[in-house]
Amino acid sequence: MVLGWFKKLKGSLSKSSEKISDGIKKALKSKKIDDETLEQLEELLISSDLGVECSSKITEELRKSKLIDPSSKKVKEIIKKKLNETLIPLEKQINLTNELHVVLIVGVNGVGKTATIGKLAHKFSKDGRKVGMVAADTFRAAAVEQLKIWSERTKSDFFCAKEFSDPAALAYQSILSAKEKKLDLLLIDTAGRLHNKIDLMNELTKIIRVMKKIDESMPNETMLVLDGNIGQNSIKQTEVFKQICDIDSLIVTKLDGSAKGGALVPIAEKLKIPISFIGTGESKEDLARFESDQFCSALLGID
């Protein structure tokens, strides 16, 4: 089971890991770690989106290691060790209890909020949990329809309201219904785009304020979804959301496809917010709990 999951993660990150593996092999042609090799390795790490800061730290570590007869395997282990130092403290597990757990999913448009809700529902239903989804993006009819399809696909309860109705009222009602139905997990989808940014932020503030009327601890958890491909922009997006809500964890999506898997590292390093899950594709299985060691092995192509 665990092995199957790791294989899948490796497959999703294969474009990134092939690029890194080939680059390391090329850099080690001289069979020694000299200035030229280190420069090549640093360039490789930067071009693999690991960020300048992290790439230079790794290069320094490789310099200090004074590897005699360096192999790709040894170099990868040093890189992994350094990445783990940054990423392990940022692992975040979601542990459900027997009480309803309400999760608010936020993020700008197109980052993958709705798809991530579908994938989360699939993951937790497989574990025998009763899951519900709330279409609190009432601004777009298509958004409601998209989430409905995910609810059918994952056999989850679905809560929605009329187009343009108040998402805060919907969220409130849905929590009450979910409690009655004894659901374990309620995932609330929110709008990524309204008329403007201020409207979007006001709406989110209101959703949170109204939820708190049920219980001050609501939402139990807020997850910010970030598109792993957009680099610096993630930092800016996070700052905007941080002004209006407490972000408990990040979900970094779209680490598959192009060789962009490394982009998670500078995001984590700069934001220092725990990462709960990573998205590695468009299907319901393409979501993994964030476990640094596994992620680094997959990214670097280590078995």
Ligand X SMILES: Nc1nc2c(ncn2[C@@H]2O[C@H](COP(=O)(O)OP(=O)(O)OP(=O)(O)O)[C@@H](O)[C@H]2O)c(=O)[nH]1
Residues that bind ligand X (CB under 6 A): 107, 109-115, 137, 143, 192-193, 253-254, 256-257, 279-282, 286
Q: How far is the CB of 143 from Mg ion (least distance, A)?
A: 5
Question: Is 138 one of the binding residues for Mg ion (CB under 5 A)?
Answer: no
Considering the complex, state which of residue 92 and residue 193 has its C-beta at the smaller distance from ligand X: 193
Residue 256 contact among ligand X, Mg ion, none, beta carbon within 5 to 8 Å by kind: ligand X
Rounded to a whole number of angstroms, the minimum distance from the CB of residue 113 to ligand X is 3
Q: Which is nearer to ligand X, 219 or 281 (CB)?
A: 281
Give just the sign of the alpha carbon dihedral 68, 70, 74, 79: positive
Rounded least distance, CB 113 to Mg ion, Å = 5
Among residues 40, 86, 114, 238, the one that binds Mg ion under rule CB under 5 A: 114
Distance (Å, rounded) from C-alpha 64 to C-alpha 80? 15
Determine if residue 105 is left, alpha or beta; phi over 0 gives left, psi from -120 to 50 gives alpha, anything else beta: beta
Choose the one of Mg ion, ligand X, none that binds residue 248, judging by a C-beta under 5 to 8 angstroms depending on kind. Answer: none
Of the two residues 59 and 156, which places its CB atom closer to Mg ion in the complex? 156
Residue 219 or 279 having the CB closest to ligand X = 279
Residue whose beta carbon is closest to ligand X? 192
Question: Minimum distance between the CB of residue 193 and Mg ion, rounded to whole angstroms?
Answer: 9
Rg of the chain (C-alpha set): 21
Is-contact 86 265, C-beta < 8 A?
Answer: yes
Nearest to 246 by CA among 231, 224, 227, 225: 224
Q: Identify what 280 binds: ligand X, Mg ion, none; CB under 5 to 8 Å per kind.
A: ligand X
Residue 107's binding partner among Mg ion, ligand X, none (Cβ under 5 to 8 angstroms by kind) is ligand X
Nearer to Mg ion, 12 or 114 (CB): 114
Q: How many CA atoms lie within 13 A of 7 on its CB side?
A: 4
Peptide bond connecting 167 to the previous residue in cis, omega within 30 degrees of 0: no
Residues whose CB is less than 8 angstroms from the CB of residue 106 and which lie 6 or more positions away in sequence, other chains included: 113, 190, 204, 222, 223, 224, 225, 241, 245, 247
Decide if 12 contacts 286 (C-beta within 8 A): yes
Instruction: State the binding partner of 281 from Mg ion, ligand X, none, CB within 5 to 8 A by kind.
Output: ligand X
Residue 271's SS3 state is helix
Nearer to Mg ion, 62 or 115 (CB): 115
Q: How far apart are CA 298 and CA 290, in angstroms?
A: 12
Q: Give least dist CB 85 to ligand X, A.
A: 26
